[in-house]
Amino acid sequence: MLEDAIKVSVVGTGKMGYYHARLLSRLGHLDSIVDTNIETAKSVGQQFGIPYFSSVEAMSEERSPNGVIIAVPTNAHPSVAVEVIQCISGLKAMLIEKPVAPSVKQAIDLKSKLAKSDVKVIIGHIEVFNPVVSRIREILNQKTLLGDLRSVLFQRRGAVAETRIGSVGDVYADIGVHDFDIALRLFMNGKLELFSTAVKLNKVDNSSIIIVFSEDKEFFATFLMSREYAGKLRTIDIEGTKATLCANMLTQMLELRSLEIARGEKDISAIRIPFSNGEQVKVYGEPLLLEMWNFVDCILGKSIPLVSVDDGIDVLKIVEATRKSIKTGSVVHLQV
């Protein structure tokens, strides 16, 4: 299959759906638009000069995309994903925006239904594609740099328009999934102990979560997340017995700081690999574009999804554990 044969339909044209459509149009891969609001579908379709429809079924009667992106509200993810599989016979890959489903139970049910087809499914945990994550992994693999890990602090704070709250859910499902997935990939496996605190129990907009690793209980992760922060902050700070690694997901800057130097101790040896103490290193890469390349490669049969349905389910387990901890006011034990 030639890359110019890639034809992708975007279902749902909210914020993320529009971003996907705009990028696909620039790449020459946008085939059609689907939105239950036909006026919205018409507006976006005409903007990009492509056909538009009010339903997946109507689109499938006239178009034959080999890729579909589902960017509808979360509660509709399972039903729309199943409809896409049933209606489009030549489908090769499907991208479902995060979270994969409203609950773990629904996600597991969706997985069983999707398993009956050969369609490759990617879940839209876009921060996994941020090059900062792969660079952090490289540094962690050089175990002598940070020493024994002690703690990691994830901060993801910003403002979200009130008009979007109804469709994106609480802070855990909306923005927490990104850091939960990164943490799972970099640090977490096996048994975990989780405790969460929050305000506005009927609509959680900000929260703090602590996860302790049950295996040794010598390393823990703290997550600070808010949708009421006047600004934009996305950072990961990893503390070790030898150094601290500070990573900014927005600026894509990393800094490694020697703990010995910070303490003012004598007879220190400066960190030189992969960069010197206090030196900031810039990495480059657009997460949305890198996610799209993975999606395109899946359509072409050249790759597998870098964020699978199983990854989406594991993240939802943490999301549900945070809610349970708030409700009960106690520590929650889980296995991921």
Distance (Å, whole) CA 11 – CA 26: 18
Least confident of 58-72, 169-183, 189-203: 189-203
pLDDT higher than threshold 60 for residue 155? yes
For 92-103, what is the mean pLDDT? 97
Q: Is the pLDDT of residue 217 over 90?
A: no
Residue 304, Cβ density class (10 Å: 0-12 exposed, 13-18 middle, ≥19 buried) = exposed
pLDDT tops 80 at residue 4: no
Average pLDDT over residues 185-212: 86
* Residue 273 pLDDT: 54
> Residue 313, Cα to own-chain centre: how many angstroms?
12
CA distance 253 to 152: 17
Q: With bands split at pLDDT 50, 70 and 90, how would you rate the model's confidence at 277?
A: low
What pLDDT, on a 0 to 100 scale, did the predictor assign at position 213?
83
Query: Of the given ranges (185-199, 212-226, 267-281, 303-317), which has the lowest mean pLDDT?
Result: 267-281
Average pLDDT for 266-278: 59
Mean pLDDT of 156-185: 87
- Terminal Cα distance for the chain, rounded: 37
Between 274 and 268, the higher pLDDT residue? 274
249/167 Cα distance (integer angstroms): 25
pLDDT at 258 over 90: no
Position of tokens 């050249």? Answer: 302
Handedness of CA 129, 133, 135, 138 (dihedral sign): negative
Closest by CA position to 110, among listed 335, 305, 292, 316: 316
Choice among 129-133, 236-240, 262-266, 270-274 with the minimum mean pLDDT: 270-274
Q: Which token pair is 252?
A: 């894509």
Say whether pLDDT at 117 is over 90: yes
pLDDT surpassing 60 at residue 272: no
Place of tokens 């939105």: 35
Instruction: Inform me whether the pLDDT recorded for 1 exceeds 50.
Output: no
Q: What is the mean pLDDT of residues 230-254?
A: 95
Over the stretch 311-327, which tens digit does the pLDDT of each residue have? 999 999 999 999 999 98
How would residue 145 be classed by pLDDT, with cut points 50, 70 and 90? confident
Residue 268, pLDDT > 60, answer no
Res 152 pLDDT > 50: yes
Q: For residue 189, what pLDDT is reported?
A: 72
Q: Residue 248: beta bridge partners?
A: 235, 253
Least confident of 145-149, 177-181, 200-204: 200-204
At residue 25, does pLDDT exceed 90? yes
For residues 19 and 97, what is the distance between their CA atoms, to the nearest angstrom? Answer: 12
Secondary structure of the chain as H, E, C letters = CCHHHCCEEEECCCHHHHHHHHHHHHHCCEEEEECCCHHHHHHHHHHHCCCEECCHHHHHHHCCCCEEEECCCHHHHHHHHHHHHHHCCCCCEEEEECCCCCCHHHHHHHHHHHCCCCCEEEEECHHHHCHHHHHHHHHHHCCCCCCCEEEEEEEEEEECCHHHHHHHCCHHHHHHHHHHHHHHHHCCCCEEEEEEEECCCCCCCEEEEEEEECCCCCCEEEEEEECEEEEEEEEEEEEECCEEEEEECCCCEEEEEEHHHHHCCCCCCCCCCCCCCCCEEECCCCHHHHHHHHHHHHHHCCCCCCCCHHHHHHHHHHHHHHHHHHHHCCCEEEEC
Is the model's pLDDT at 212 over the cut of 90? Answer: yes
Over residues 117-121, the mean pLDDT reads: 96
Above pLDDT 70, what percent of the chain? 91
Mean pLDDT, the chain, integer: 91
> Domains in the chain, ordered, with CATH?
3-124 (3.40.50.720), 128-285+317-335 (3.30.360.10)
- What pLDDT was estimated at residue 2? 45
